[in-house]
Amino acid sequence: GNSVTQMEGPVTLSEEAFLTINCTYTATGYPSLFWYVQYPGEGLQLLLKATKADDKGSNKGFEATYRKETTSFHLEKGSVQVSDSAVYFCALYGGGSYIPTFGRGTSLIVHP
């Protein structure tokens, strides 16, 4: 079946540092890939997505590129802010399944 593996957290950074959160996946076919963000006390919300190989999703300074050859969708941001502190989930959907698959989530803590 499909699976998503994310790096374990928490990831702790100082403000303006560079962020990478790794995500790799296993799926049949050609799934769509997503990053969701969950702020404290809230539900998940879509951060960015990519629907085919080599697509780059971007939003709010975050980027991720759909790499089929390495089955990865790593999340990056050049300069994090305290307000980026949240839990980030990598997910896939499709690829032969109508059931979404989420990673375990990675907590990001940004200090001033």
Note the residues at the interface with another protein (CB under 8 A): 32, 34, 36, 42-46, 49, 51, 89, 93-94, 98-100, 102, 104-105
Query: From CA 67, how far away is CA 105, in angstroms rounded?
Result: 20
What burial class does residue 6 get, using C-beta atoms within 10 Å of its C-beta: 0-12 exposed, 13-18 middle, 19+ buried? Answer: buried
| Least Cβ distance, residue 94 to another protein (angstroms) | 6
User: Among residues 63 and 100, whose Cβ is nearest to another protein?
Assistant: 100
**Which residues have C-beta within 8 Å of that of residue 44, sequence separation ≥ 6?**
36, 37, 38, 89
Query: From CA 107, how far away is CA 112, in angstroms rounded?
Result: 17
User: Among residues 17 and 58, whose Cβ is nearest to another protein?
Assistant: 58
User: Among residues 73 and 94, whose Cβ is nearest to another protein?
Assistant: 94
| Least Cβ distance, residue 102 to another protein (angstroms) | 5
User: Among residues 77 and 103, whose Cβ is nearest to another protein?
Assistant: 103
Rounded-to-10 torsion of CA 42, 61, 70, 6: -30
| Least Cβ distance, residue 112 to another protein (angstroms) | 26
